[in-house]
Amino acid sequence: MIRKARFSDIKEIQRLINRYAQDGALLPRSLSELYENIRDFFIYKEKRRMLGCCALHISWKDLAEIKSLAVRREARRRGIGNRLLRTALQEAKELGIKKVFALTNQEKFFKKNSFKKIKKEKLPHKIWGECIRCPKFPDCDEVAMIFLIDN
């Protein structure tokens, strides 16, 4: 089941994201950041266990970003990431957003979901604010991928 996140989910979301952040797959998130952005988050639950999360963060007039997409290791390759991403894209469509991007090293996963690789420089400067907090900065290994919504 996929639904919007609630306050009671936040600590579990943080644990999931920060476990991946330890290997550099995601940026770590503080509790305050997660509480502030709770409305961005969807979670996937099965038998009362949260198996995945995904955030859709609006960054510009008609542009949003997929952030903190994570599926528990033991639940990967079962289509959960795919379903979370589709749900976030559906919300973007309902909001009238035209472009959704991700900064990622999971190029194959996003390609499979019809995202196309673009030059990072094509994205507005505003979105680079977070990069400074990344432990890998300035040696970034992520690519920018974009999905165009037909509204």
Ligand X SMILES: CC(C)(COP(=O)(O)OP(=O)(O)OC[C@H]1O[C@@H](n2cnc3c(N)ncnc32)[C@H](O)[C@@H]1OP(=O)(O)O)[C@@H](O)C(=O)NCCC(=O)NCCS
For binding to ligand X (CB under 6 A), which residues are involved?
A: 20, 25-26, 69-71, 76-82, 102, 104, 106, 108-109, 112
- For residue 138, the minimal CB distance to ligand X (Å) is 19
**CA atoms of 98 and 64, how far apart (whole Å):** 8
Give whichever of 18 and 106 is closer to ligand X, judged by the CB atom: 106
Instruction: Decide if 44 contacts 12 (C-beta within 8 A).
Output: no
- For residue 4, the minimal CB distance to ligand X (Å) is 18
**CA atoms of 96 and 131, how far apart (whole Å):** 27
- For residue 47, the minimal CB distance to ligand X (Å) is 17
Question: How many CB atoms lie under 10 A from the CB of residue 70?
Answer: 23
Give whichever of 6 and 112 is closer to ligand X, judged by the CB atom: 112
For ligand X, which residue has the nearest CB?
Answer: 81
Strand partners, 58: 64
